[in-house]
Structure 1
Amino acid sequence: MTARSSRTVACVTCTRLPGLCEDDQPLLSALRSRGIEPVPVAWDDPTVDWSAFPLVVVVSPWDYPDRSAEFLAWYERVASVTTIANSLDAVRANHHKRYLADLAAAGAPVIPTEIVDDPEHARAVARRHGWADAVVKPATALGGRGVTLLSAVSATSFGDAPGSGEWCLQPFLSNVRGEGEISVVHIDGRLSHALVKRPPAGEIRVHEGYGGTHEPYPVTAELAEAADAVMDAAGCRDELYARVDLIRADDGRLQLVELDVTSPCLFFCHRPEAAAAFAEAVELRLVRQPA
C-alpha cells in the first residue's frame, strides 16, 4: 500500500460489510465534507498496511466475537504502528462483559451481572438471587446473538456462545417491553443523542434483526446523569465514541445493561447531525497527529 494522505482515515469494518453498514453512510459523507478521505477496510484483510493510515477508526468489525483473541491481537498490532480509536486499553477492558462488575465496583448504576458456565450454574445463581426470570447472553457477543430468557427452573441449554464460551447472567428487567432499552450515544466524551429500542411482541431482543424498533428519545437530566456515571466509572471521556444502554428497573432506577466502546451502532441514520460531530472529532485527532 502506498503512503496515505494526512487526511485519510481507515474505517474498519468486516468482510461482509465492505462498504460499512447503512447506518454509517452519513458518517462517510460527513468525513468527505471536511476533506477527509474515509477508506473502508476489513480488520482481517492481510494486505492492509495499517501504518500507512494516520488514523484508524474502528466502525463495524461485527464478526469479532467469533474470533475475539485474534481481534485483540490485531488491535494490539495496529495500535503499535498508528493511532487507533477507540484506544487499545478501552477495548481490552470492554470486549468481555466481566467489565460490568468493574463498573459496578466503581459506582456505576449497573444491573447485577454474574459470569456463568452452563445452564445448571445459571439456574443456581438465579435461585440464589431470587430471580424468577433472568437473561443469559454470551460474554463476548453483540447484536442480540445468543440472548435467551431463562427461567430459573426450566432452561436446559443455551445457544452457541461465540468467543470465550462464557455467559453472563442478569435479572430480566420487564420494562424492556414497556419503556424499552435506551441507548445514549457519546461522541468525543460528550453526550450526543439517545434512542429507545423496543422488542416485538413475544421477544426480548430489541435489535432490528429480530424485529425491534428504534426511535429518537429525549435526553432528560435523569438519563444524562445515569449515562455520565457510567462514562466516568469507565474512564471513557477521552474516547472517540461510546454507547451506554440502560433499562429502567422495577424500582424506577435506570440500570446499565451494556457499555460498548468496541463497535457500537451509533444510529447516525436517526441523527445525521451526530455524524457531523463525529467527523469533527476525527478531524481534531488528525490535526493532533505528529507531522
Structure 2
Amino acid sequence: MTSNSVPATREESRVALVTCGEIPDLDPDDRLLLAPLRSRGVTAVPVAWDAEGVDWAGFDLAVLRSTWDYAARREQFVDWASAVPRLANPADVVRWNTDKRYLRDLAGAGVPVVPTTWAVDGVDLPDGGEYVVKPAVGAGSVDTGRYDLGLPEHRELAQAHVARLQAAGRLVMVQPYLTAVDTYGETSLLYLPDESGRLAFSHAIRKGAMLGGPDEGGAGLYKEETIRPRRPLDAELELGERALAVAPGDPHSLLYARVDLIPGPDDLPVVVELELTEPSLFLATAEGAADRLAAAVATRARKRDDYYVT
C-alpha cells in the first residue's frame, strides 16, 4: 500500500425498522438492535409504516417491528406491505398472519390449537364456563376480554363485547379460557436465523396471565405483560416446529417468528398464536439475541437481491 492509498471500507447499508406513529423511536426491545447494526455498517432508521413520502425502495431492507396500530386498517397495511420492495417478513406472510383465521390452517394440518368459534353476525355463547372474546384481526391483546359465562353480569358484558366488535365489521373469536395460563403461564418460543441464515430456535419466555376480566373497549396499543426467561419443554419445541411448517413459503427464509403456547385441559401444549408479522421478540431476555438478529439483518441487507421478498 502506498502512502496515498485509502483503506477499503465496507459498503454502508440502510435498513428501515418499521414502527407506527405512536412509537416513533421504537419499542425499547427493538432499540437493542441499533448498536449491533451500527457496528456492522448498517444505518437503521425508525420509520412509521404509514408515514407519507417514504421512499421504501431506498432501503436495502425494511424490517417489520412495532406496527401495532394496523388492526383497524388491515387492508391498508397489507396493501402497503405488498408495495415495499424488500420486506421482512414478506408480504404474503403478512397477509396470511394478520388475520387469525390462519389458526384454521394450522388445525387443518393437524397442529393442536385452542378451539375457536368464529362469528360474523351474532354468536350463541356457551351456557357457562370461562371464555375469551377477541377480534380475528388484532394485536397486543387489545379488544380482548375474559368472561365467566355462568355469571349474568359477565354474560351481558360478553354479549356487549361481541356486538361492539361486530358493529365495527370485525370477525369475532370465542375461545375457552385455558386455566393453565394462571399457574404454568404462556410459553413464547422465539426463532431467529442461525449462522447459516436459517430460522432456528433462539430462546423462550414465560408470560403471566394478562386477562383479568371483561374488556370494556379501552384504548391502547397493547396490554402490559409480565415476562421472564423459560426453558421450554420438548413437547413445546416439537409443536413450535410443526406450527412453523404451516406458514406460507419456506419458514426458514423468515427473519423471525414467535409461537405462543398454553397447556390445554390434558396438559399438552396448544398453539394460541403464531406471530410472524410484528411480534415482540424479547431480545433483552436472552444473551446475544439482539446481536444474532442484527447479524441476520445486515446479511440480508447486503444480499438484497437474494431477499427480494415481496
Relative to the length of structure 1, the TM-score reads 0.87
The aligned residue for residue 293 of structure 2 is 278
**Cα distance change of structure 1 residues 70 and 210 upon mapping to structure 2, 3 Å threshold:** closer
Query: 1: distance between equivalents of 2:124 and 2:284?
Result: 38
Query: 1: distance between equivalents of 2:294 and 2:17?
Result: 12
The aligned residue for residue 137 of structure 1 is 134
1:215 to 212, 228, 236: 228
Contact 2:12–2:41 under 8 Å retained in 1: no
Contact 1:6–1:286 under 8 Å retained in 2: no
Out of 164-173 and 189-198, give the one that drifted further.
164-173
The aligned residue for residue 289 of structure 1 is 304
**Cα distance change of structure 1 residues 201 and 260 upon mapping to structure 2, 3 Å threshold:** closer
Out of 25-34 and 176-185, give the one that drifted further.
25-34
The aligned residue for residue 120 of structure 2 is 117
1:197 to 198, 207, 213: 207
Q: Does 1 or 2 have the higher relative contact order (CA < 8 Å, sep 6+)? A: 2
Equivalence map 1:85-234=2 (5 Å): 85-117=88-120, 120-123=122-125, 126=126, 132-152=129-149, 154=155, 155-158=158-161, 160-161=164-165, 165-188=170-193, 189-199=199-209, 202=212, 210=223, 212-234=225-247
Superimposed CA distance per residue, residues 200-258 of structure 1 (whole angstroms, 9 cap, x where no aligned partner) = 694599x9964541100013322211111111122533211111000001101100011
1:251 to 266, 272, 277: 266
2:257 to 222, 230, 242: 242
Superimposed CA distance per residue, residues 50-78 of structure 1 (whole angstroms, 9 cap, x where no aligned partner) = 11111111111111111111111111111
Which one-letter code corresponds to 2:13 in the other structure? Answer: R
Query: 2: distance between equivalents of 1:117 and 1:151?
Result: 22
Query: 2: distance between equivalents of 1:213 and 1:115?
Result: 29
Which one-letter code corresponds to 1:108 in the other structure? Answer: V
Q: What displacement does 1:144 show?
A: 1.1
The aligned residue for residue 38 of structure 2 is 32
Identity %: 36
Out of 85-94 and 221-230, give the one that drifted further.
221-230
Query: 1: distance between equivalents of 2:171 and 2:40?
Result: 43
The aligned residue for residue 51 of structure 2 is 45
Out of 61-70 and 25-34, give the one that drifted further.
25-34
Q: Does 1:83 align with 2:86?
A: yes
Q: Which contiguous aligned blocks of 4+ residues in structure 1 show a shift greater than 6 angstroms?
A: none
**Cα distance change of structure 1 residues 261 and 200 upon mapping to structure 2, 3 Å threshold:** closer
Q: What displacement does 1:152 show?
A: 4.2
Contact 1:175–1:248 under 8 Å retained in 2: yes
**Cα distance change of structure 1 residues 38 and 268 upon mapping to structure 2, 3 Å threshold:** same
Q: What displacement does 1:114 show?
A: 2.5
Contact 1:137–1:146 under 8 Å retained in 2: yes
Equivalence map 1:3-42=2 (5 Å): 7-42=13-48
Q: How many residues align?
A: 277
Which one-letter code corresponds to 2:98 in the other structure? Answer: H
Q: Does 1:265 align with 2:268?
A: no
Task: Please tell me the root mean square deviation across aligned C-alpha atoms, in Å.
Answer: 2.5
Structure 1 residue ranges without an equivalent (≥5): none
The aligned residue for residue 64 of structure 1 is 70
Out of 56-65 and 132-141, give the one that drifted further.
132-141
Relative to the length of structure 2, the TM-score reads 0.82
Which protein has the larger Cα radius of gyration, Structure 1 or Structure 2? Answer: 2
Contact 1:100–1:110 under 8 Å retained in 2: yes
Contact 1:135–1:169 under 8 Å retained in 2: yes
